[in-house]
Chain A
Amino acid sequence: MPFRADVFRFVYWLCRDRALAEDVVQETLLRAWRSLDSLGDEKSARPWLLTIARRELARVFERKRLPVVDIDVANEAEPESLAINDQHEVDEMRRAILKLDVIHREPLVLQVLLGYSTEEIARHLDISVAAVLTRLFRARQVLRQQLLGAEGSRP
Chain B
Amino acid sequence: MNCEELRTTVGAEPNTTRPDVLEHIAGCAACARYRQDLQAMDRLIYRALAVDAPAEKNASLPTQKQTMVRVWRVAASVLITVLVGAIALWLLTPRESVAAEAIAHVQHEEFSLVRTSETVDEQQLEKVLAAARLRLKPGAARVSYAQSCPFRGQRVPHLVVQTEQGPVTALVVTHVPTQRREHIDEDGFQGDIIPAPRGVIVVLGKNVPVDAVANTLLSALEY
Contacts and interface: CB of A to CB of B under 8 A. Distances in A.
Interface of A: 1, 4-5, 8-9, 12-13, 18, 22, 26, 29-30, 32-33, 81-85, 87, 89-90, 93-94, 97, 108-109, 111-113, 118, 132-134, 136-137, 140-141, 143-144, 147
Contacts, number: 84
A109 B46 CA distance: 8
Contacts of B57: 26
B46 A26 contact: no
B49 interface: yes
Nearest to A96: B48
Given A8-B54, A9-B53, A29 B61 contact: yes
Contacts of B8: 137
Interface of B: 8-9, 11-14, 38, 41-42, 44-54, 56-57, 59-63
13 contacts: A18-B54, A22-B54, A26-B57, A26-B59, A32-B61, A33-B61, A93-B44, A97-B48, A97-B49, A112-B49, A137-B12, A140-B14, A147-B41
A79 to B, nearest CB: 11
**Most chain A C-beta atoms within 10 Å of own C-beta, residue among B38, B42, B49, B63:** B49
A96 B41 CA distance: 12
Contact of B56 (A4, A93, A147): A4
Contact of B38 (A29, A81, A82, A140): A140
B53 A93 contact: no
A81 B51 contact: yes
A68 to B, nearest CB: 20
A94 B41 CA distance: 12
A141 B11 contact: yes
Given A108-B45, A112-B45, 12 more contacts: A1-B56, A9-B53, A12-B51, A26-B59, A81-B51, A84-B47, A90-B47, A93-B47, A97-B45, A133-B9, A133-B12, A143-B41
A19 to B, nearest CB: 10
The DSSP consensus for interface residues of chain A is helix
B158 to A, nearest CB: 62
Nearest to B57: A26
Contacts of A82: 51-52
Contact of A84 (B12, B13, B51, B60): B51
The 6 A-B pairs at the shortest CB distance, nearest first, are namely: A5-B53, A93-B48, A136-B12, A137-B11, A133-B12, A8-B53
A106 B170 CA distance: 88
A32 B41 CA distance: 34
B122 to A, nearest CB: 67
Contacts of A22: 54
Nearest to A21: B54
A13 B50 CA distance: 10
A90 B171 CA distance: 85
A80 to B, nearest CB: 8
A1 B60 contact: yes
Contacts of B61: 1, 29-30, 32-33
B49 A33 contact: no
A29 B60 contact: yes
Contacts of A143: 41, 45
Contact of A90 (B13, B14, B44, B52): B44
B6 to A, nearest CB: 12
A9 B46 CA distance: 11
B49 A109 contact: yes
